[in-house]
Amino acid sequence: MSGLLATRVAGLLLEHPVMNASGILGSEPEHVDILVAHGFAAIVTKTFTLNPREGYAPPVLVELRSGGFLNAIGLANPGVEGIKPIIERARLHGKSVIVSIGGNGPEEFTRVAEKAEEYGASAVELNLSCPHVKGYGLELGSDPSAAYSVVREVSSVIRVPVIVKLGLTERVVESAGRALEAGARALTLINTIRALAIDVYSLKPVLSNIYGGLSGTPIKPIALRVVYDVYREYSAEIIGCGGISSWIDVAEFILAGARAVQVGSALLKNRRVVYEITVGLEKWVRELGYRNIGELVGRAHYP
């Protein structure tokens, strides 16, 4: 691959802008092998919490007739001690590894972040965006002051870059600003969107948790809008996430202000998606006559 697609975000140099979204594998060492085989430029782990979590009882994932997926996994993970094997496997492949971290407040986030750094994480991604676990994620990210507190505590005790993942809320732009003020090097925008599906024969919600996170192509225009708004306000380093399934989707996010992207649901339907995206992006950059994809970041904002 030529240097046309090389990009840097949160201090990490990537050969191309496509990494996996947290939640798509990434909790076991063998998952790293799979993600590397698919061609991702960096590995993002599933969200790790201080203590192990079993998550919700099945069903936890459903494909929707309208497109996309609805999931409520419940942040299932083996706890903080599961981080080290993931990082060691990623290092064997020469890949940067971003450890996604969950917690119910600044103290838990900080303790997990310290362990991630100790084990060799390239960066941490603070999950302030999970839409279906009470007391975690979105409840923190939707409050700009709470977001500031978490990010400030974490960024004050670790040296590796802190990335903050925010979900869709009415105050997402404000929360983004407060996260940057508190020390975030970059923002991941956005997570899944709180939603619901009902089985018309059982007469009950499909998921055991009732509510889940909507992902896939239906949320792409919303995620794109959030990236555009946050970049316009702060010119921040952004990782776009939400409904990406083609190189055109990635190109839109780049033009809106993203330096890199994360792909999740599309991998469930197309195992060649990373290859197809990178081939398409190279052709696009060449046709436009630019030397590097970085020159196109935020171009949609220019006169």
3-state SS of 7-33 is EEECCEEECCCEEECCECECCCHHHHH
Residue 199 domain flag: no
Which pLDDT score is estimated for 88? 94
Residue 130 domain flag: yes
Which residues in the chain land under pLDDT 50?
Answer: none
Residue 9 domain flag: yes
Query: For the chain, how far is it from start to end, CA to CA, in angstroms?
Result: 32
Residue 85 domain flag: yes
Which pLDDT score is estimated for 1? 57
Residue 239 domain flag: yes
| Cα–Cα distance, 101 to 88 (Å, whole number) | 17
Q: Which tens digits make up the pLDDT trace of 48-66?
A: 999 999 888 888 899 998 8
| Cα–Cα distance, 266 to 201 (Å, whole number) | 29
Residue 164 domain flag: yes
Which pLDDT score is estimated for 132? 59
The CATH number for 137's domain is 3.20.20.70
Residue 198 domain flag: no
Residue 70 domain flag: no
Q: Per 3-state DSSP, what percentage of the chain is helix, strand, and coil (rounded to 5)? A: 40, 20, 40
Q: Which tens digits make up the pLDDT trace of 152-198?
A: 999 999 999 999 999 999 999 999 999 999 999 999 999 999 999 99
Active site residues: 130
Which pLDDT score is estimated for 64? 93
Q: Which residues contact 76 (CB under 8 A, 6 or more apart)?
A: 27, 53, 54, 55, 56
Number of domains in the chain: 1
* pTM for this model (two decimals): 0.95
| Cα–Cα distance, 168 to 190 (Å, whole number) | 6
Determine the structural domain holding residue 157 and report its residue range. 3-55+75-193+217-301
